[in-house]
Amino acid sequence: MTQLSHETRALRPTHPRAEPTQLLTSGSAAEYAELLHTVVDSIAERFRTVRYPGSGASRSELASLIDSIDLDGDGIGSKPALAEADELYARNAVWFHVPGYAAHLNCPVLLPAVAAEALLASINTSVDTYDQSLIATLMERRLLDWAATSIGFTGGDGIFTSGGTQSNLQALYLAREKAMSRSNAALGDLRVFTTAASHFSIARSCHLLGLSPQALIHVATDAEGRMDPDALRGALADLTRERSTDVVVAVAITAGTTDRGVIDPIAPISSICAENRIWLHVDAAYGGGLLLSPTRRSLLDGIERASSVTIDFHKTFFQPVSSSALIVSDAQDLSAASWHADYLNPADEAAAYDPDPNQVDRSLQTTRRFDALKLWTTLRALGSAHVGALFDEVCDLAERVREDLLNDPEFRVFGTTDLSTVLFRYQPHGLDDESARILVPEIRADLLHSGRAMVARTVVDGSACLKLTLLNPHTTQDDLADVIELVRVTARGLLAKKGERA
Ligand SMILES: *Cc1c(COP(=O)(O)O)cnc(C)c1O
């Protein structure tokens, strides 16, 4: 017996499968259609009936449900497995489309994008090289060109990524490479200017990129947390004066901070960066939706002078996770991400046959989802102006809800917003700061446990507060009045209980 036939025999299954193979192929097209219809029907039923963001099930209840599932036993078949997933996951999922959900930057998703998700998952395209999908690569590149043009870049380029975290990492990586190619600076000499309100991924990226713990310099802000351009100018001058070996990698500003939703002054900061030939990164993971806004686009004025921009389509473009992009103003800058491998994108082939590099040469990922299809179908289905108007409605709503809270003597409002967050806490006249602060996590936990509403919490200027993050254009002012009423009733109940105990 030859070695080969021995091995072949060893690979053959020793007992027949419970059902025919479940691979999606020509032979299973009918089953595929039936299975997906079943799943679509059950999820549609959930959407018809779900009223609250949470099921209210506790962590220990859910953990014991999960622990009871046998992952090593015989298969139960696709339909039963999906029915089980519906019971486990869909029944207990957190729903972002209901008005009671106002916690984090999660959005309800647009129909054409969800349908496109099924399409791209079934075909399972990977957009790493042209030969793996010419059409998908061309579509993704057209969309990146569209995004660059929306920003105001001429000759820009970009790459779809898994999220804002990855987009920010890649932006700082490209900036670091450029800074190091221009100078003989050591890693320890590199500096990044940002504010204390920038997303934590900026700080973590600096760490991942080998920068020193002193690399990140927090520039002073105005009372709302927006970077102060004069303070940036001063900090840059201090750096050159005091430590002449230090090299500035980038100024990383935020268009829509995660907590307050405020936008750093892009135009004046872009001028300072241009004067000093410094890479300006704009993290517009949250505020990127304003690119299409019919009334608020001017809040992003100056973004066209950035070197790189992060946009999360899975936030303010109402796309299913994941869908994000890093866009750069100078296409050449992306080449710092390229790396040649003989089995994928050999250097000689790139030069000989195709003047345009593969997407893998612009990405930190190799195998990569064709997320671009979702945004593509969205723009085609709704039109870009309609998408921009959706985020605009959410920002309008935040303004009205903030007014409602300001006019309510039982609540105290913190700060303002440029986008769609509202910071507040229950603090009627006579309730001291300390008691109001202690109530914040208690209210949030009670609401979470009831499953009826979800709000976030944070700390601004040392004050603990609750946070509404609005990303649902269908939520109304009345819906949010109901959420606020729930907060009020919960807070009063908690105070009454404390009064009894005292
Ligand atoms: C959400 C967010 C990020 C992180 O994006 P992910 O898609 O969650 O990785 C980065 N920056 C800002 C300002 C954000 O709001």
Q: What is the mean pLDDT of residues 476-481?
A: 97
Q: In this predicted model, what pLDDT tens digit does every residue of 65-93 receive, in sequence order?
A: 999 999 999 999 999 999 999 999 999 99
Structure tokens at 13: 């299954």
Asked whether 198 lines ligand 1 (CB < 6 A), one says no
| Distance between CA atoms of residues 364 and 238, nearest Å | 35
Q: What is the mean pLDDT of residues 250-265?
A: 97
pLDDT score recorded for residue 352: 57
Instruction: Give the C-alpha distances (Å, rounded to integers) separating 463 from 26, 351, 423, 436.
Output: 60, 58, 10, 10
342: pLDDT strictly greater than 50:
yes
Q: What is the mean pLDDT of residues 241-253?
A: 90
Q: Which of 419, 448, 461, 480 is nearest to 258 (CA)?
A: 419
pLDDT category at 1 given cuts 50, 70, 90 is very low
Asked whether 165 lines ligand 1 (CB < 6 A), one says yes
Structure tokens at 208: 């991942």
Give domain limits for the chain.
25-91, 126-382, 386-498
Q: In this predicted model, what pLDDT tens digit does every residue of 375-393 receive, in sequence order?
A: 999 999 999 999 999 999 9
Q: What is the mean pLDDT of residues 480-497?
A: 97
> Atom 7 (ligand 1): residue with closest C-alpha?
163
Q: What is the CATH number of domain 386-498?
A: 3.90.1150.170
Ligand 1 centroid distance, CA of 421 (Å): 15
pLDDT score recorded for residue 501: 82
CATH 3.40.50.300 corresponds to the domain 126-382: no
> Atom 10 (ligand 1): residue with closest C-alpha?
164
pLDDT score recorded for residue 349: 65
pLDDT score recorded for residue 4: 47
Asked whether 105 lines ligand 1 (CB < 6 A), one says yes
500: pLDDT strictly greater than 90:
no
Ligand 1 centroid distance, CA of 35 (Å): 34
Q: In this predicted model, what pLDDT tens digit does every residue of 88-109 receive, in sequence order?
A: 999 999 999 999 999 999 999 9
- Taking residue 208's Cβ as centre, other Cβ atoms within 10 Å add up to 12
220: pLDDT strictly greater than 80:
yes
Q: In this predicted model, what pLDDT tens digit does every residue of 351-361 receive, in sequence order?
A: 555 668 889 98
Sheet containing 454-460: order of strands: 101-102, 454-460, 463-469, 421-426, 411-414
Ligand 1 centroid distance, CA of 161 (Å): 12
Ligand 1 centroid distance, CA of 16 (Å): 48
Give the residue ranges of DSSP H helices in 93-154. Answer: 111-123, 134-151
Query: Dihedral through CA 493, CA 496, CA 501, CA 502, nearest 10?
Result: 140
Asked whether 201 lines ligand 1 (CB < 6 A), one says yes
Instruction: Give the C-alpha distances (Å, rounded to integers) separating 488 from 101, 152, 413, 458.
Output: 16, 45, 14, 18
Q: What is the mean pLDDT of the chain?
A: 93
Asked whether 199 lines ligand 1 (CB < 6 A), one says yes
8 vs 103, residue with greater confidence? 103
Asked whether 140 lines ligand 1 (CB < 6 A), one says no
Asked whether 286 lines ligand 1 (CB < 6 A), one says yes
pLDDT category at 461 given cuts 50, 70, 90 is confident
pLDDT score recorded for residue 19: 56
pLDDT score recorded for residue 185: 87
pTM: 0.94
Asked whether 285 lines ligand 1 (CB < 6 A), one says yes
Ligand 1 centroid distance, CA of 310 (Å): 9
Query: Dihedral through CA 339, CA 340, CA 345, CA 349, nearest 10?
Result: 130
> Atom 5 (ligand 1): residue with closest C-alpha?
164
pLDDT score recorded for residue 479: 97
Out of 41-45, 286-290, 357-361, 489-493, pick the least confident: 357-361
Mutation choice for ligand 1 from 166, 194, 258, 262, CB with most ligand atoms inside 8 A: 258
Contacts of 442 (CB under 8 A, 6+ apart): 494
Helix H or strand E segment including 401: helix 384-406
pLDDT score recorded for residue 376: 98
Mutation choice for ligand 1 from 106, 198, 283, CB with most ligand atoms inside 8 A: 283
Ligand 1 centroid distance, CA of 320 (Å): 14
CB 60 within 8 A of CB 420: no
Asked whether 309 lines ligand 1 (CB < 6 A), one says no
Ligand 1 centroid distance, CA of 458 (Å): 16
Q: What is the mean pLDDT of residues 133-138?
A: 95
Q: What is the mean pLDDT of residues 196-212?
A: 97
